[in-house]
């Protein structure tokens, strides 16, 4: 159930050129101070690595099933190999243009996090100037990547790839083939990006580059105007809690309030904005729709820990949830599309969503017990009912005893059931793939391997709960007993 504008993004291919790096996270528990020095002692619980910088832009595009030609520079080391493996596992990303060199290490940022708070960041990087040979190889790789793409992203993290010569060659080559260039800038001198289509600075970056404050709408407009004088580009300003503001070179500004409900970590949010913006522009969507998609994507990633990306389902769900109240929990019957929208409205409120399914024909104490256990395992419980046609295929011509509308009314009246949805397939797998619940509840007469959709839920970090059964209760037995009287 992918929202149409999100689906359109998948028709494009983007050239991403810039500083690739590996973002590493070491997380643990801090409970004491070292006797050796007044510093915290952290017991490591988890370590993981994800693509960072330009590689994170590529990761965000790949998560949305957008093709990527990635150009960058990396050392001939194990970090490069880990980075390439991480990127290639995400989707259609061509990493063949990441140039290897013996002159520098692959950039690696290690963030040490204790009790959900970053204690220190350790950067492994070399800032040596590029030689003529490396610069020439980067330019050749970039031109090839642009030729096979619909739009271009320059992800400048100031680590050495985006030299004056590289920037000029990339922008001029893209302009010669009428391809838009979107730049995530880090330089103070924005004239280096002259000829780009759009610059996407955050408030601090724009303020630092122009020497002007950038808090109010009026201040942001003045700073954007100064940036446009030297760059000639439109400005899309990311403003954290104030959302996005677009300042075209030839018109009035457009402001969008933030779509974020809970901000956990802003790391990499700018990468997400530039990735979604580029894909949307390449798909020829109107600028307001491009902003809307980028705004929703940013709102999703800031609710996640560390550098992260957004999936098609998450982005579609966030858009569909835009005008849906998350306060719904009265057991009402909803269509599958409306249920998807509500599920993501709950997600924006950081509510845990559970999913239980069945025919639930002739409600009995066993059903009640299972649903009570299901409701206690989550904040909001969705009950999915087999349609009448589905029940008939599974149980025989004489079933169901009650039609789907009657069963939905009964289910919705039970305490703990937030909403009800009907599915027509033999199993709810398709519905589970669309809803992506956090918790999947089924009776203990199943094994986890037998539960439809268990793999879908577990793949995104969810869990499967096998509820205890209340012995001696069965709808089929009730029907047989009633028929025998």
The pLDDT tens digits for 167-207 are: 999 999 999 999 999 999 999 999 999 999 999 999 999 99
Active site residue 126: no
Per-residue confidence (pLDDT) for residue 264, from 0 to 100:
45
CATH no., domain 324-484: 3.40.50.620
Superfamily of domain 4-322: Ribokinase (3.40.1190.20)
Q: Measuring CA to CA, which residue among 173, 151, 149, 169 is closest to residue 161?
A: 169
At 387 the pLDDT is 95
Whether residue 72 contacts residue 144, with contact meaning beta carbons closer than 8 Å, is answered with no
Contact assessment for residue 122 and residue 24, using Cβ atoms and an 8 Å cutoff: no
Q: What is the pLDDT along the chain (485 residues), one digit of tens a residue?
A: 456 578 888 889 999 999 999 999 998 999 899 999 999 999 998 898 999 999 999 999 998 999 999 999 999 999 999 999 999 888 789 999 999 999 899 999 999 998 778 899 999 999 888 989 999 999 999 999 999 999 999 999 999 999 999 999 999 999 999 999 999 999 999 999 999 999 999 999 999 999 999 999 999 999 999 999 999 999 999 987 788 999 999 989 999 887 655 544 455 688 999 999 999 999 999 999 999 999 888 888 776 655 667 887 788 877 877 767 778 889 999 988 889 889 888 887 889 999 999 999 888 888 899 999 999 999 999 999 999 999 999 888 888 889 999 999 999 999 999 999 999 999 999 999 888 899 999 988 888 889 999 998 887 778 999 988 865 545 555 445 554 44
- Spatial distance between the Cα atoms of 473 and 366, rounded to a whole number of angstroms: 6
- Scan for tokens 């619980």, then name that residue: 45
Q: What is the pLDDT of residue 459?
A: 79
pTM score, whole prediction:
0.75
Residue 149 and residue 66 in contact, taking contact as beta carbons nearer than 8 Å: no
First to last CA, the chain: 47
Residues 372-416 pLDDT 10s: 999 999 999 999 999 999 999 988 888 888 999 999 999 999 999
Per-residue confidence (pLDDT) for residue 209, from 0 to 100: 96
At 485 the pLDDT is 47
Predicted local confidence at residue 153, as pLDDT = 98
Cα 167 from Cα 150, distance rounded (Å): 18
Q: How far, in Å, are 343, 356, 369, 453, 478 from residue 372 at the CA level?
A: 20, 11, 5, 21, 21
274 contacts: CB under 8 Å, gap ≥ 6? 57, 153, 155, 182, 184, 200
Burial profile 431-465: b = 16 or more Cβ within 10 angstroms, e = fewer = bbebbbbbbbbbbeeeeeeebbbbebbeeeebbbb
At residue 263, the pLDDT reads: 47
Give domain limits for the chain.
4-322, 324-484
DSSP state of 211: T
| Token reading at 18 | 């810039």
pLDDT of the residue at 257: 83
Give the model's pLDDT for residue 444.
86
What local confidence, expressed as pLDDT, does residue 316 receive?
A: 80
Report pLDDT for 312.
Answer: 79
Among 94, 156, 271, 313, the active-site one is 271
């Amino acid at each position: 159930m992918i929202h149409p504008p999100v689906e359109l993004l998948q028709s494009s291919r983007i050239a991403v050129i810039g500083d690739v790096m590996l973002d590493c996270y070491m997380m643990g528990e801090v409970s004491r101070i070292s006797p050796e020095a007044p510093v915290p002692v952290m017991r490591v619980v988890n370590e993981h690595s994800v693509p960072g910088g330009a590689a994170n832009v590529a990761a965000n595009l790949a998560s949305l099933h957008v093709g990527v030609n990635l150009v960058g520079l990396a050392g001939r080391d194990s970090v490069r190999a880990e980075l390439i493996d991480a990127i290639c596992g995400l989707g259609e990303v061509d990493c063949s243009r990441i140039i290897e060199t013996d002159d520098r290490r692959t950039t690696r940022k290690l963030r040490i996090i204790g009790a959900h708070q970053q204690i220190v960041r350790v950067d492994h990087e070399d800032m040596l100037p590029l030689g003529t040979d490396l610069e020439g190889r980067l330019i050749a790789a970039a031109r090839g990547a642009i030729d096979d793409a619909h739009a271009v992203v320059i992800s400048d993290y100031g680590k050495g790839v985006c030299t004056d010569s590289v920037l000029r060659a990339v922008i001029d080559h893209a302009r010669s083939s009428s391809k838009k260039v979107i730049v995530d800038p880090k330089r103070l001198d924005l004239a280096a990006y002259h000829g780009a289509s759009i610059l996407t600075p955050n408030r601090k970056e724009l303020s630092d580059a122009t020497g002007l404050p950038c808090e109010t709408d009026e201040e942001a407009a003045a700073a954007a105007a100064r940036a446009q004088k030297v760059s000639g580009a439109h400005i899309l300003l990311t403003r954290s809690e104030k959302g996005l503001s677009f300042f075209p070179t030839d018109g009035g500004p457009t402001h969008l309030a933030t779509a974020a409900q809970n901000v956990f970590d802003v790391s990499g949010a700018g990468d997400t904005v530039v990735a979604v913006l580029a894909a949307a522009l390449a798909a020829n969507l109107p600028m307001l729709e491009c902003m809307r998609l980028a705004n929703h994507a940013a709102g999703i990633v800031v609710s996640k820990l560390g550098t992260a990306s957004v999936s098609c389902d998450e982005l579609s769900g966030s858009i569909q949830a835009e005008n849906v109240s998350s306060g719904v929990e009265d057991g009402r019957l909803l269509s599958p599309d409306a249920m998807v929208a509500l599920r993501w409205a709950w997600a924006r409120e950081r509510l845990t969503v559970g999913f239980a399914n069945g025919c639930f024909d002739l409600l009995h104490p066993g059903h009640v017990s299972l649903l009570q256990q299901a409701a206690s395992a989550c904040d909001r419980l969705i009950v999915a009912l087999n349609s009448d046609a589905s029940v008939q295929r599974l149980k025989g011509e004489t079933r169901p005893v009650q039609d789907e509308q009657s069963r939905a009314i009964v289910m919705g009246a039970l305490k703990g059931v937030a909403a009800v949805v009907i599915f027509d397939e033999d199993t709810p797998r398709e519905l589970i793939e669309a809803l992506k619940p956090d918790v999947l509840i089924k009776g203990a007469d199943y094994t986890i391997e037998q539960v439809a959709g268990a793999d879908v839920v577990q793949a995104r970090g969810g869990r499967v709960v096998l509820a205890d059964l209340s012995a001696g209760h069965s709808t089929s037995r009730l029907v047989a007993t009633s028929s025998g009287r």
